[in-house]
Chains A and B, each alone.
Chain A
Amino acid sequence: MAAQPNSLIATFETTADLMRAAETVRDAGYKHWDCITPFPVHGLDKAMGVARSRVPRFSLAGGITGFCTGMSMIWFMNRFDYPLVVGGKPFFSPMFAFPVSYELTILFTAFATIGGMLFLNRLPMHYHPVLKYDQIHRGLDDRFFIVIESRDPKFNLEATRALLEKAGGADITELEA
């Protein structure tokens, strides 16, 4: 048996063509496939059947952690570890601890959001079969690609190629692992 390619990649010229092709591939029941686009195409998530991003969960966790860190840090420092008398004010009050906790909420949310995004996207990943395609730079410039991976249970070299052709894909190429 000849070596199975890692994936098949097809090229599209416009966002409208890509959108229709994505709907075709989605409806054919593929799971391990992707679109390569130079910019986020409006509505493509729906056409691909991609679920809503889970990044907000990370953000929320980060924000709560940040706020609690701020409050407990200030309580620990100004009330518990070294109670400091300043102007007869209370050692701890959520009022004066608020601005710093607020800033830490934002700081931790930002880190968690970016960390969550990178984790969900499995980045950094400097090696990927798609990056070896000699036309891949066009996918960041002005072309649109659809990649169907061979690990998809529905993948069949001839049938998948025919599907991409039917969907209007040009330059259908096999990618090595």
Chain B
Amino acid sequence: MSHAAENSAAATAVLREVKPASLPRPLLVENGRSYGWITDKICGIIEGKTPAWWWWCFIVACFVASWTVAGITYLVSTGVGVWGHANPVNWAWDIVNFVFWIGIGHAGTLISAILCLLRQKWRTSINRAAEAMTIFAVVCAGIFPVFHVGRVWFAWFLFPIPNYNSIWQNYRSPLEWDVFAVSTYATVSVLFWYVGLVPDLAILRDRFFNAGRKVRSFIYGLFALGWRGSNRHWSNYEMAYVILAGVSTPLVLSVHTIVSFDFAVSLLPGWHTTIFPPYFVAGAVFSGFGMVLTLMLPLRVIFKLEDLITQYHIDCMCKIALATGSMVGYAYIMEFFIAWYGSNPYEGFAFINRAFGPYAWAYWIMFLCNVITPQLFWFKKLRRNLVAVWIISIFINVGMWFERFVIIVTSLARDFLPSSWGYYSPSIVEIFTFFGTFGVFSVLFLLFIRFLPIMPMAELKAVTPQADPHAHHGHGKH
């Protein structure tokens, strides 16, 4: 005890001398909102009447989603040749779209898992919606490889289910690793999301019960599992949550790593590089934050969530986009450097061809969107201009789609033999199938914001100043 007292006396003396500036932590919930206000705000979105804009958006989203349904129906009834793939470009928009959507999902897991482990409390107001985004993005991603196999009714051959050929899957193939990575990712993301939802579903169960809406109360109650806010439960719950965050962190890093192995393990110049795993992961997080910003900024305005998604949250998201965008830019430049430094003429050609060959237009769109535009986030003034932030987030989405296009298509279109070179253009079926997935995503996301709490209420309450039981006796250590 006396030791501790001596230390604290010494610390006070030092503090008196150096006169540290007081740097208040930014508030995560502004305007001193109470617990009850948070509950009413988030639950009110679900309990209120369905707004007209929701119906308009939903109808448009359903219409757009029907393009994917139509495209897929036509493909299944005709054959995979209705997509524009032909030698030498046998992977094109389908794999581009797959990698694009999977990448978008990564921000959700990053926010819910990695930022949880790093105790970044600002994650609380955006993690629910970002996790929902992850799940819906994985749904959209899954469509493409499943239908690219051609005979989709054999897609179950990808999984280790005994079949009449008695042949098992080839586990030496990164494509098979991908099956496990993506299906594990989808499953764990859903579990993580659901576990986070349980306490909030219990709130809705009680509120609907008190409002006399018994059917809704029953349905929410069924999924709330009888949650009653017991602290003995919270103790296990928090432990489970942190372990899930702990296993989701290596998971999210491994998923895009394994997606990049689909390319890096092949021998094709432009794909066969060791930089791919970290570069793909950084790109995935970058694109995901682009999408989080695209979704959260309108939600914040529509539902008047300014006290919960503060300027500080937006600053944080912009800064992560800036950091990962800079990593991606570094990777682009490093790829060129290694292509030159490695002295492999095929590798060198692949990169010169990317920047100055027939697909140069795509390369420079990618470069502009991914390397130049996020650099604008260095400026505080720009981060505070939400319209500008939203427009930049769209640029990031576009740029990251082009990144995958550039990697996949340019490398395949100019492979080893000039006699088999080609130029790939998408067919109308591919175009509609891809743009339709934005409809599929929007339909799911609209249903989510209508029926589920878009923010984790329990976690938000826990980061308010009044939640700290020690707040009354100063800011000492405990």
Contacts and interface: CB of A to CB of B under 8 A. Distances in A.
Interface of A: 14-16, 18-19, 34-45, 48, 50, 52-56, 59, 63, 73-74, 77-78, 81-82, 84, 86-87, 89, 96-97, 99-100, 102-104, 106-107, 109-111, 113-114, 116-118, 120-121, 123-128, 130-131, 136-137, 139-142
A82 B167 contact: yes
A110 B190 CA distance: 11
Contacts of A14: 466, 469
Contacts of B207: 137
B376 interface: no
A40 B462 CA distance: 7
A15 B467 contact: yes
A39 B472 contact: no
Interface in B62-77: none
Contacts of B176: 100
The list of the 8 closest CB pairs from A to B, nearest first, reads: A77-B168, A142-B35, A137-B206, A117-B240, A53-B239, A124-B225, A15-B469, A35-B231
19 contacts: A38-B39, A41-B462, A44-B234, A59-B243, A73-B160, A97-B171, A99-B177, A100-B176, A103-B180, A103-B184, A114-B191, A114-B195, A117-B237, A117-B240, A121-B236, A126-B226, A130-B230, A142-B35, A142-B461
A113 B244 contact: yes
A106 B171 contact: no
Contacts of B202: 140
Interface stretch (B150-158, B250-258, B407-415): B250-258
Interface in B410-453: none
A36 B206 CA distance: 14
Given A77-B160, A78-B168, A99-B181, A42 B469 contact: yes
Given A37-B229, A107-B187, A142-B461, 12 more contacts: A36-B229, A41-B469, A45-B235, A56-B243, A77-B171, A96-B172, A100-B171, A110-B188, A110-B248, A113-B247, A140-B39, A140-B227
A23 to B, nearest CB: 11
A86 to B, nearest CB: 5
Contact of A99 (B160, B234, B236, B258): B258
B265 to A, nearest CB: 10
A99 B244 CA distance: 19
Contacts of A39: 199, 234, 458-459, 461-462, 467
Contacts of B467: 15, 39, 41-42
Contact of A127 (B168, B209, B226, B251): B226
Contacts of A118: 225
Contacts, number: 218
Interface string B68-90: 00000000000000000000000
B468 interface: yes
Interface string B299-340: 000000000000000000000000000000000000000000
Nearest to A121: B233
A81 B169 CA distance: 12
A34 B243 contact: no
Contacts of B384: none
A117 B244 CA distance: 11
B468 A15 contact: yes
B238 interface: yes
A131 B236 contact: no
B34 A142 contact: yes
A109 B243 contact: yes
Contacts of A109: 243, 247
Given A39-B459, A103-B254, A15 B229 contact: no
Nearest to A107: B184
Contacts of B343: none
B240 A116 contact: yes
A117 B35 CA distance: 26
Given A34-B231, A109-B243, A141-B35, A78 B171 contact: yes
Contacts of A117: 195, 236-237, 239-240
B346 interface: no
A123 B39 CA distance: 24
B210 interface: yes
B291 interface: no
A124 B466 CA distance: 31
B147 interface: no
B226 A114 contact: no
Contacts of A111: 191
Interface in B186-201: 187-188, 191-192, 195, 199
Contact of B243 (A35, A77, A113, A127): A113
A53 B171 contact: no
Contacts of A97: 171
Contacts of B462: 39-42
B36 A141 contact: yes
Given A99-B254, A107-B184, A82 B231 contact: no
B170 interface: yes
Contacts of A136: 206, 228
A113 B171 contact: no
A121 B462 CA distance: 21
B181 A19 contact: no
